[in-house]
Amino acid sequence: MRLYELSGNGLEALRLVERPSPRPGPGEVLVRMRAATLNYRDLMIATGRYGRGPLKRPLVPLSDGAGVVTAVGPGVRGLSAGDRVAGSFFQRWVDGPYHPEKGQSALGGAMDGVLAEEVLLHEGGAVKVPQAMSFEEAAAFPCAAVTAWVGLVVNGGLRAGETVLALGTGGVSIFALQIGKLFGARVVLTSSRDDKLARGRAIGADETLNYRTTPDWGERAHALTGGRGVDHVLEVGGAKTLPQSLAALREGGHLSLVGLLSGARADPDAAAKNGRGIRVDSIYVGSAHHLEEVLGAFTRAKVRPVVDRVFPFEEVPLAYRCLERGEHVGKIAIRI
């Protein structure tokens, strides 16, 4: 079978290679992958800028993928050949609270990921996906959608009538926009490009802010709520955008710290010392159960995730470059 292997730092260390097809062991399923999607984490891992725990080398990259079960190992009861599945980001975090041992099972980081024609998944880390959903769409959910779901719904208790501020137009933020609208919330979306903001409005954003032409976008978002402040911020920018995110929030609002797109992670302890009762959570994706929840919510509402571009398997480096340049809205997919 063919797969991509990352042997060092830099996209030049990414190679398409051949390996023997694996066989599922006890509690494992073999999945013929049909699609994968990129997250900013994948670019950071490839370029040596990811700081969460040790990384496997050589590494099969990417955490998010979907395909068809072709074989099951001894003891597997919940899945069978022919099932369409997506792999959960943490293979050993099936349900319940996070634990560091579960954190050592992240696909495409601590263990090999899904950028391969065939992948072994743990039974509890393979979640069935609806027949009506394409493999590219199903592959969009495991990291970005679960992160937004946990931040807004599981931890944030999102309710109709509340206001969500989503930063940028990448995967997590576009899922935050879509989840916000699923729950009847008002959503404010930011970007540095007016064409992306127009696409955000077409997806459902109620208000949009260009943070280049409106440098005090946090205060402006606060003003858009009649001076009350937004209820939820999904903070993907990091240390540089944190002050504006705090300025946007109402007294007692909810801040989910997710990423570091601006270059450095936001300090959760510093954020918590805001003097305004703002509740701060650090989000590191979620469990297989959370993946089931968000897939179910989108399926019931007949809402499709936003897949911006699909690259063929042979053009994976071009997909990474597209992500690096920030050309997309939503997710970048790879057809396998």
pLDDT tens-place string over residues 92-133: 999 999 999 999 999 999 999 999 999 999 999 999 999 999
Cα–Cα nearest to 39, from 226, 172, 180? 172
Structurally, how many domains does the chain consist of? Answer: 2
Asked if residue 264 and residue 172 are part of one domain, the reply reads: yes
Across 53-67, 252-266, 292-306, least confident range? 252-266
Which residues are CB-neighbours of 62 under 8 A, at least 6 positions away? 36, 37, 38, 39, 42, 107, 108, 113, 114, 115, 334
pLDDT of residue 49: 86
pLDDT digits (tens, 9 = 90+) for 169-189: 999 999 999 999 999 999 999
**313 in any annotated domain:** yes
Query: Which residue segment(s) compose the domain that 312 sits in?
Result: 2-143+286-335
Give the CATH number of the domain where residue 106 resides.
Answer: 3.90.180.10
Nearest to 179 by CA among 167, 164, 168, 169: 164
Long-range Cβ contact pairs of 214-223 (< 8 A, separation 24 or more): 216/244, 216/247, 217/190, 217/244, 217/248, 218/243, 218/244, 218/245, 218/246, 218/247, 218/248, 219/244, 219/247, 219/248, 221/165, 221/188, 221/190, 221/248, 222/247, 222/248, 222/249, 222/250
Residues 27 and 104 in one domain: yes
Looking at the structure, do residues 13 and 95 belong to the same domain, yes or no? yes
Instruction: Mark which of 282, 297, 319 sits at the end of a domain.
Output: 282
CATH number of the domain bearing residue 206: 3.40.50.720
Instruction: Residue 21: count other Cβ atoms within 10 Å of its Cβ.
Output: 12
Mean pLDDT of the chain: 95
Of 266, 282, 298, the one marking the end of a domain is: 282
218 inside domain: yes
The answer to whether residue 165 sits within a structural domain is yes
pLDDT computed for residue 122 by the predictor:
98
CA–CA separation, 41 vs 39, rounded Å? 5
Where residue 161 falls among pLDDT bands split at 50, 70, 90?
A: very high
Both 160 and 233 in one domain: the answer is yes
Q: Are residues 81 and 173 in the same domain?
A: no
Within this chain, do residues 272 and 300 fall inside the same structural domain, yes or no?
no
Burial class (CB within 10 angstroms; exposed 0-12, middle 13-18, buried 19+) of 325: exposed
Identify whether residues 192 and 323 lie together within a single domain.
no
pLDDT at 261: 56
Instruction: With beta carbons less than 8 A apart as the criterion, state whether 235 and 167 touch.
Output: yes
The answer on pLDDT for 158 being more than 90 is: yes
Tell me the whole-structure pTM to 2 decimals: 0.95
User: How does pLDDT run across 63-101, given as a tens digit for each residue?
Assistant: 999 999 999 999 999 999 999 999 999 999 999 999 999
Q: How many CA atoms lie within 13 A of 232 on its CB side?
A: 31
| DSSP letter, residue 170 | S
Examine residue 323 and state whether it is found in any structural domain, yes or no: yes
pLDDT of residue 209 exceeding 60:
yes
- Phi then psi for residue 8, to 5 deg, are -160, -155
- Do 7 and 133 belong together in one domain? yes
DSSP 114: S
Question: Rounded to the nearest 5°, which phi and psi values hold at 23?
Answer: -120, 135
Residues 179, 92 share a domain: no
- Considering the domain architecture, whether residues 190 and 316 belong to the same structural domain is answered as no
* Per-residue model confidence (pLDDT) at position 267: 75
Of 144 and 275, the structure prediction assigns the larger pLDDT to 144
DSSP states along 119-130: EEEEGGGEEE--
**149 within some domain:** no
Q: State residue 236's pLDDT score.
A: 94
255, 282, 309 - which closes a domain: 282
Per-residue pLDDT at 264? 67
In a domain, 16, yes or no: yes
Domain annotation covers residue 269: yes
Asked whether residue 128 falls in the same domain as residue 239, the answer is: no
Shared-domain flag, residues 20 and 130 = yes
- Close Cβ partners of 301 (under 8 Å, ≥ 6 residues apart): 182
Residue 150 lies in a domain: no
Confidence of residue 56 (pLDDT cuts 50, 70, 90): confident
The pLDDT tens digits of the residues spanning 237-292 come to: 888 899 999 999 999 999 999 965 544 667 777 777 788 999 999 999 999 999 99
